[in-house]
Amino acid sequence: MTVGTRPRRVTRVTGAASAALRSTLESPRRPARVLAAFPLAVYLEVRSETEPHVIAVVTGEASRLPNAVVLTEPLDGLSSGDEGWAGDGTVGIGGLEVGVRRWWDPAPPLGAADPVRLPAALAVLDAIGARSPRRPGLDPAGAPALLARGCLSGSLVDGVTAAEGLIGLGPGLTPSGDDMLSGLLVTLRHLGRAADAPGAVRLADWLAAAVTYDARTRTTPISATLLHCAAHGQAGPEVLGVLRGVAGLQALEPAVHRLLRLGHTSGADMLLGIRIGLSAVIAEAAPSEAAPSEAVMSGKERS
């Protein structure tokens, strides 16, 4: 140690980690670095070839992403470029060391959902989306409409082609195209199972393989990690709350409004993906009960 310097003070705290991170956090310690630092969240990129390779260390006031370790203490004095590590049951950033003591599930199953109630839930999503001042970052009549048509028709070629064109589309840490795809993947997987629509789950499998194949090279590291989480049905409580509302397990409208408050456009982008996925589930699970959403099929918001 250089004469005149003092060892860096280490603050040790405990946190609750997403089960999506179990493999990364229970592996031997690997080096990492801070990609972005905010008052309520720090994004740490782990030098690993496995997913998820970005860990969100967040306070209880931040959105609980599916790749998050949640703390009760504030995040102070951390900056982009800071060195860290992850593994052996801990996450370290600068002088902060987080020991994981609890785990939470980012992909809890919905159970059974009555297909007959799904069209009414979709009408609620359409109506709230049309009234909300929070708009998607992408024109719904553009690439999202192409994806919606592919999902509704059950065409793997059209769906995969459209999804590949949306990866990384739009600005920000999580581009709009990625947020929309995340909402879609989680909806197809969870509601497909809940409404006994195996075709929707198979579609989720194909789309997930397509969007995660080279996500690291086509979008931001943070967004690539969230796409990998969504491919496994893993999402934050705002998205899962909307799906629970659609399935009749909690109030739907408050859950939709909570989702829409996320980010500048992230919530609205995810809601658009949920609506596309729900329309596809309805088309398979209850084709005789209701037609797919007019707003989703046309790519236009109803006023």
The pLDDT tens digits for 18-40 are: 999 999 999 999 999 999 999 99
**Residue type, position 184, single letter:** L
Q: Measure the CA–CA gap between 98 and 43, rounded to whole angstroms.
A: 14
**Domain spans of the chain, in order of start:** 11-104, 115-298
CA distances to 35, 88, 151, 205 from 201, rounded to whole Å, are: 33, 34, 11, 6
pLDDT value of position 262: 95
* pLDDT tens-digit readout, 258-289: 999 999 999 999 999 999 999 999 998 755 44
| 156 residue type, one letter | L
What would the pLDDT profile of 94-109 be if each residue is shown by its tens digit? 889 999 999 999 999 9
Burial profile 160-194: b = 16 or more Cβ within 10 angstroms, e = fewer? bebbbebbbbbebbbbbbbbbbbbbbbbbbbbbbb
Residue with tokens 């003591």: 101
Please give the helix or strand (H or E) that residue 70 lies within, else none.
strand 68-71
CA-based max dimension of the chain: 79
Whose tokens are 């192409």? That residue is 146
Give the chain's mean pLDDT.
89
- pLDDT at residue number 171: 81
Q: Which residues neighbour 213 within 8 Å (Cβ) at sequence distance 6 or greater?
A: none
32 bridge partner residues? 46, 84
Angle subtended by helix axes 176-194 and 143-153, to nearest 10: 20
Upstream peptide bond of 237 is cis (omega within 30 degrees of 0): no
Tens digits of pLDDT across the chain (303 residues): 444 445 567 789 999 999 999 999 999 999 999 999 999 999 999 998 777 789 999 998 999 999 999 998 888 889 999 999 999 999 999 889 999 999 999 999 998 999 999 999 999 999 999 999 999 998 888 889 989 999 998 888 888 999 999 999 988 889 999 999 999 999 999 999 999 999 999 999 999 999 999 898 999 999 999 999 999 999 999 999 999 999 999 999 999 999 999 999 999 999 999 999 999 999 987 554 444 454 554 444 433
Vertex 210, ends 33 and 36: CA angle to 5°? 20
Q: CA dist 166 to 43, 53, 135, 197, Å?
A: 23, 21, 17, 25
Report the pLDDT value the prediction gives residue 156, as an integer from 0 to 100. 85
Both structure tokens of 32: 């990492």
**pTM for this entry:** 0.90
- State both tokens at 277: 């996925």
Location of structure tokens 């049951």:
89
212: which 2 tokens?
């995660």
